[in-house]
Copies of this chain bind each other. A is one copy, B any other.
Amino acid sequence: MQERRADIIARELEERIFDGTLPAGARLDEVRLAEHFGVSRTPLREALQGLARSGLVELVPRRGAFVRKLGPVELMEMFEVMAELEVVCGRLAAKRISEAALDELRAANARCRAAVEAGDPEAYYAGNERFHGIIYRESGNGFLEGETRALHRRLKPFRRRQLRLRGRMAQSMQEHEAILAALEAGDEAMAAEALRGHVAIQGEKFFCLMSSLKPAAAE
């Protein structure tokens, strides 16, 4: 076998946590999961250890593993960091981006525009993700790219639903145009500011959404 079962299991669990199949706070029963994956508890526990290290799962001694649930404060903090990472990627990319990558960005933006016109949030989301991914890559810093992608991925379940907010897609689209313009001009400061606004607003929107839905989600 090329890959460890533990790795496969880890990715599978990660996916299920991200997509909500395993909801926050859910207890991860070792024997049941092991049975589900058709392995013994050993590789499953190894996977759990890994997930715990990367903060997705909480391991309470003698009590078991739980999907880590993020409180509002921690979530807001993560959105803030996300915005800053995007800013850094954008600033570096403004200096380092290639002409070919600019073309890719234009193409991604074109898809986004089509999605806006079609009123298709799913398609917009996909295009948006592509757009940002290109910027991460063009930061020219692989480590930064990896960290940014990781956090992006982690925040995914909390970001997705916002696109349904009225007018958000169109506004986001305009912001993309501004970001693209800044990158084309190689203007670091402008790219930074455009990105900060574009991403920071997600955190804010998220909190509007959350506080309107759950009066007191404090833990």
Which residues of A does B touch, CB under 8 Å? 1-4, 6, 10, 42, 45-47, 49-54, 59, 61, 73-74, 77-78, 80-81, 84, 88, 92, 141-144, 147
CB distance from A203 to the nearest CB of B (A): 12
Known A46-B49, A77-B144, A88-B88; further 13 A-B contacts with Cβ < 8 A = A4-B59, A45-B46, A47-B49, A50-B50, A50-B52, A51-B53, A54-B54, A73-B142, A74-B143, A77-B143, A81-B88, A81-B143, A147-B147
| Chain B residues within 8 Å of A49, by CB | 6, 46-47, 49-50, 53
A14 to chain B, nearest CB (A): 10
In the complex, how many angstroms separate the beta carbon of A56 from the nearest chain B beta carbon? 10
Q: A81 near B144 (CB under 8 angstroms)?
A: yes
CA separation between A51 and B53, bound complex, in Å? Answer: 7
A84 to chain B, nearest CB (A): 5
* Complex CA distance for A52 and B3, rounded to whole angstroms: 14
Chain B contacts for A46, CB-based, 8 A:
45-46, 49
Please report the C-alpha to C-alpha distance between residue A45 and residue B3 in the assembled complex, in whole angstroms. 16
User: How far, in Å, is A145 (CB) from chain B's closest CB?
Assistant: 9
Q: How far is the CA of A88 from the CA of B148 in the complex (A)?
A: 15
A4 and B61 within 8 A (CB): yes
